[in-house]
């Protein structure tokens, strides 16, 4: 028996050794090489110095080598993420993950992203083509040299990455464009509510000049030296996007002749998207301008449609979507003069017109921005900007601050684009794009302050139909109030504003409910504790408190009641579209044509809210916790599904972030939910670059065993940040990319 047990122990030990060796091979081997020399196809030596967060500071003798190095180094840390992004953009995810990704692939193909990218590639300028080509060459050099040491995701999904193409970078840009401008489902929701609803009421629920709280939001602001301790500007930017693992952003520093820039990049795309160089800093906020329209088409048979009294042939394209473990899906894509048909049902056919599909030209404007040294250069770069509409915030070492809307925005004369329009008549066509000179801008305003939080920047007297999913004013007003409350701001103090979770709307709504109960002397015992909690509440949307949860449920039931009043039986489709600003306006005005007794309505939805909360968090409202409602974890889409690692307890402790109660709401400066939140925080001090700050959500590396896999997460949650070294970088690992003989 002793001998038998000895052999069993030997077998177990051997199995553990084999398992350890396997884990080493698939997890440790692919880690980025950060020291020594790698022979590369550069024209000269490139030095890559990694700081304590794993941020690569790259220095090259020419622009070709710096973009080659950026492609190579980004692939070291994020190759699988890059492959995932391009597959999602091109509609090729189902090929490696199976049927679960088919719907994503269908929508990407319907938007024609891969085909638009190919058209854009043909229109590139020589300089843009060169930058994209050398970046792709850097990525491919990494793939070539690491075919047997690929990140574990490739091993788990059992495929190898194909070579990187310049169209992959363009497709990623188009996917970002789509995610920031895809509004056609809102158009259909409004159209459905108008069908049988009260047009006056429905239109009040979809105002062009307030907002849609469900879209990812962002904040950015610039303070002139009159507001700061240093006497020089401070710029802050924190884009709010959907949670992802790894983070969407990858911090990098690029140095070459006429280029010295640092900040946040997007894996798969050359250059810096948000950051600073030696002279200027900039941030970005999504404009949410409507650049997409649905057209109701009249199809004739299966191969033609009517337009302006003529019968025109449908353009037909066949898309083959490979699906892992299933048959190849054949998508027959037909298009009219307006664009691809995205909805083809017996009684309705809609084509989709999207600005990205209208303009095959594309410019790498961010490379121009990266090299800009003043406002004139910055404006010149934005004139060529072809991405989704954006609010750009600017500051420079000369003490200037500025704001400029940029992007290709359609001119609509006969309609506003908020619902599908008639296609056959030809009377609802776009009439070009808004000239750059007519886009909102400001330079050194008297207030010394510029704040952008997705609110509508167009003045009331603009000559154009303005429509979009603009945000309510709550975030921008709170930022302006905080910034105007004192002088002598320092860069680290910007974090306190970026993490502000006071909701003036939620506080207003809570007090309206309290007033209604007290005015009517409602005796419902379920409301008494809730009323007391709301009266004591300070409007902070934080964990550990029941009041924020009470108001959250109260708002949900109020908006459902209002939507049903506007369009009986169809209001449920409006759940994610109503803006809190609309609710506040109605509660302040209390129009009798909506409800004869608004206090009675508030009490009714208050009772409904308490009943829902009791079903979710128990009968005692005093023990409710907003944090239990908002808690979430960012889960790796592949590694968290590996059974072996799950059995070893890795999934929760090591692979994913911890489950955490999140602070904030859709109307707080820190706009957060289970789906989205601040994706990065950047603060630039124009008086001394080396005290600027930046942190991304999780970490620089997508490699599980890297020390930088999620080393920024705890600081991110706590609202802390990290210095962003620029001029005085010392220490750190050094890697040299060197051509043979140098």
Give the CATH number for residue 522.
1.10.1400.10
Q: Is residue 394 part of a domain?
A: yes
Residues 529-540: b if buried by 16+ CB within 10 A, e if exposed = bbbebbeebebb
State whether 370 and 474 are in the same domain. yes
- Gyration radius of the chain over CA positions: 27
Same domain, 529 and 411: no
Same domain, 608 and 474: no
- Give the largest CA-CA distance in the chain: 94
Contact 205, 218 (CB under 8 A): no
- Report the candidate in 183, 281, 180 with the shortest Cα–Cα distance to residue 223: 281
> Cα 685 to chain center, whole Å?
25
CA atoms within 13 A on the CB side of 472: 27
Of the residues 447, 468, 498, the one at which a domain ends: 498
Question: What distance in Å separates the CA atoms of residue 505 and residue 580, rounded to the nearest whole number?
Answer: 7
- CA 387/CA 406 separation, integer angstroms: 8
The pLDDT value given to residue 23 = 61
Q: Look up the domain containing 615 and give its range.
A: 504-625
Give the DSSP letter of residue 260: E
User: What DSSP line would sit under 555-593, residue for residue?
Assistant: HHHHHHHHHHHHSTTTGGGGTTT--HHHHHHHHHH--TT
Whole-number Å distance between alpha carbons of 87 and 93: 5
Rounded to whole angstroms, how far apart are CA atoms 110 and 646? 37
**424 domain residue, yes or no:** yes
Number of domains into which the chain is organized: 2
pLDDT of residue 382: 97
Name 298's Cβ contacts closer than 8 Å, sequence gap at least 6: 305, 306, 349, 423, 424
In this structure, the answer to whether residues 474 and 610 fall within a common structural domain is no
In a domain, 674, yes or no: no
**Residue 161: phi, psi to the nearest 5?**
-70, 140
Q: How far is the C-alpha of 452 from the C-alpha of 221, rounded, in Å?
A: 6
Answer with the one of 607, 625, 643 that is the final residue of a domain: 625
Does residue 77 form part of some domain?
no
Q: Residue 208: what pLDDT?
A: 63
Q: Which contacts of 669-672 are long-range, i.e. CB under 8 A and separated by 24 or more positions?
A: 669/219, 669/453, 669/475, 669/478, 669/479, 669/497, 669/498, 669/499, 669/500, 669/501, 669/502, 670/498, 670/499, 670/500, 670/501, 671/217, 671/219, 671/240, 671/475, 672/240, 672/630
Q: Following DSSP, what letter does each residue of 686-734 receive, concatenated?
A: TT-GGG-EEEESS-S---TTSTTSSTTHHHHHHT---B---S-----EE
CATH, residue 375: 3.60.20.10
Of 448, 468, 498, which closes a domain?
498
| Residue 461 resides in a domain | yes
Q: How many CB atoms lie within 10 A of CB 481?
A: 13
pLDDT at 165: 98
Query: What pLDDT sits at residue 332?
Result: 94
Alpha-carbon gap, residue 222 to 674, rounded angstroms: 29
Asked if residue 217 and residue 274 are part of one domain, the reply reads yes
- Asked whether residue 484 falls in the same domain as residue 514, the answer is no
Paired tokens of 250: 């990858």
**Is residue 218 included in any domain, yes or no?**
yes
Whole-prediction pTM: 0.93
In contact, 528 and 608? CB cutoff 8 Å: no
Integer Cα distance of 272 and 255 in angstroms: 12
pLDDT in tens, 661-718: 999 998 999 998 888 889 999 999 999 999 999 999 999 999 988 999 999 999 999 9
CB-side exposure of 673: number of CA atoms within 13 Å?
14
d(CA 381, CA 119): 22
Say whether both 521 and 588 belong to one domain: yes
pLDDT at 526: 77
Check the CA dihedral 428-471-581-441 and report its sign: negative
- Do 490 and 521 fall into the same domain? no
Indicate if 467 and 510 belong to the same structural domain: no
Please tell me the distance from the alpha carbon of residue 118 to that of residue 124, in angstroms, as a whole number: 10
Continuous segment of H or E residues that includes residue 133: helix 126-145
Domain check: are 567 and 467 in the same one? Answer: no
- Residue 639 placed within a domain: no
Q: For residue 213, what pLDDT is reported?
A: 36
- Residue 295 placed within a domain: no
Same domain, 515 and 620: yes
CB 217 within 8 A of CB 668: no
Residues 592 and 450 in one domain: no
**Residue carrying structure tokens 């944090």:** 627
- The span from the CA of 198 to the CA of 568, in Å, is 9
330: Cβ contacts below 8 Å, ≥ 6 apart: 318, 319, 320, 321
- Alpha-helical segments (H) within 373-459: 375-383
Expressed in percent and rounded to 5, the helix, strand and coil fractions of the chain are 40, 20, 40
Residues of the chain with pLDDT under 70: 1-26, 208-217, 360, 573-579, 643-652, 741-742
| Dist CA 119 CA 244 (whole Å) | 29
């Amino acid at each position: 028996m002793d001998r038998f047990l000895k052999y069993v122990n030997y077998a177990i030990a051997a199995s553990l050794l084999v398992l350890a060796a396997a884990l080493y091979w698939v997890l440790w081997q692919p880690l980025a090489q950060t020291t020594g020399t790698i022979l590369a196809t550069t024209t000269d030596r490139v030095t890559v110095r990694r700081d304590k967060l794993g941020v690569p500071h790259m220095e090259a003798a020419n622009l070709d080598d710096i973009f080659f190095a950026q492609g190579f180094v980004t692939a070291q840390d994020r190759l699988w993420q890059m492959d995932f992004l391009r597959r999602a953009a091109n509609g090729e995810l189902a090929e490696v993950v199976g049927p679960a990704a088919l719907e994503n692939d269908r929508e990407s193909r319907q938007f024609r992203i891969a085909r638009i990218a190919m058209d854009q590639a043909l229109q590139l300028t020589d300089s843009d083509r060169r930058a994209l080509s050398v970046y792709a060459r850097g990525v491919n050099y990494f793939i070539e040299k690491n075919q047997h040491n690929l990140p574990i995701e490739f091993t788990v999904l059992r495929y190898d990455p194909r070579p990187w193409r310049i169209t992959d970078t363009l497709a990623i840009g188009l996917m970002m464009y789509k995610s920031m401008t895809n509004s056609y489902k809102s158009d259909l929701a409004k159209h459905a509510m108008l069908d049988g609803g009260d047009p006056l009421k429905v239109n009040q629920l979809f105002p062009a000049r307030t907002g849609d709280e469900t879209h990812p939001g962002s904040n950015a602001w610039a303070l002139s030296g009159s507001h700061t301790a240093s006497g020089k500007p401070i710029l802050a930017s924190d884009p709010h996007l959907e949670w992802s693992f790894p983070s969407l952003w990858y911090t990098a520093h690029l140095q070459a002749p006429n280029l010295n820039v640092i900040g946040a990049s997007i894996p798969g795309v050359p250059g810096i998207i948000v950051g600073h160089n030696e002279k200027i800093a900039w941030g970005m906020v999504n404009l949410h301008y409507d650049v997409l329209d649905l057209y109701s088409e009249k199809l004739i048979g299966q191969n033609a449609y009517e337009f302006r009294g003529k019968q025109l042939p449908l353009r037909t394209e066949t898309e083959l979507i490979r699906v892992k473990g299933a048959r190849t899906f054949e998508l027959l894509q037909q298009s009219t003069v307006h664009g691809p048909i995205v909805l083809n049902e017996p009684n309705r056919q809609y084509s989709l017109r999207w600005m990205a599909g209208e303009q095959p030209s594309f410019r790498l404007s961010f490379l121009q921005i990266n090299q800009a040294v003043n406002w004139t250069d910055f404006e010149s770069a934005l004139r060529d900007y072809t991405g989704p509409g954006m609010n750009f915030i600017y500051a420079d070492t000369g003490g200037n601050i500025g704001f400029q809307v940029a992007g290709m925005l359609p001119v609509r004369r006969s309609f506003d684009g908020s619902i599908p329009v008639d296609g056959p008549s030809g009377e609802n066509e776009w009439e070009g794009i808004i000239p750059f000179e007519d886009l909102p801008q400001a330079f050194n305003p008297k207030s010394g302050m510029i704040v952008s939080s997705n609110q509508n920047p167009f003045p009331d007297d603009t000559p154009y139909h303005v429509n979009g999913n603009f945000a309510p004013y709550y975030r921008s007003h709170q930022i302006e109030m905080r910034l105007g409350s004192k002088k002598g701001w320092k860069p680290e103090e910007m974090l306190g504003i970026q993490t502000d979770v006071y909701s003036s709307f939620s506080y207003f709504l809570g007090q309206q409910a309290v007033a209604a109960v007290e005015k009517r002397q409602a005796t419902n015992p379920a409301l008494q504790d809730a009323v007391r909690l709301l009266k004591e509440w300070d409007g902070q949307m934080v964990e550990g408190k029941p009041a924020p949860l009470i108001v959250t449920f109260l708002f949900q039931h109020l908006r459902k009641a209002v939507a049903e009043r506007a369009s009986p039986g169809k209001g449920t489709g409006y759940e994610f579209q109503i803006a809190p600003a609309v609710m506040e306006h109605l509660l302040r005005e209390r129009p009798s044509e909506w409800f004869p007794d608004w206090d009675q309505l508030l009490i009714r939805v208050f009772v409904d809210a308490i009943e829902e909360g009791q079903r979710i968090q128990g009968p005692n409202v005093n023990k409710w916790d907003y944090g239990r409602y908002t808690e979430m974890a960012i889960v790796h889409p592949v590694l968290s599904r590996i059974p072996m690692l799950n059995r070893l307890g890795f999934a929760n402790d090591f692979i994913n972030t911890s489950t955490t109660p999140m602070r904030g709401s859709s109307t707080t400066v820190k706009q957060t939910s289970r789906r989205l939140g601040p994706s990065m925080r950047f603060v630039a001090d124009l008086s001394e670059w080396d005290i600027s700050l930046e942190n991304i959500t999780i970490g620089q590396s997508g490699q599980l065993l890297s020390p930088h896999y999620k080393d920024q997460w705890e600081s991110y949650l706590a609202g802390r940040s990290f210095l962003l070294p620029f001029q005085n970088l010392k220490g750190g690992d050094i890697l040299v990319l060197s051509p043979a003989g140098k």
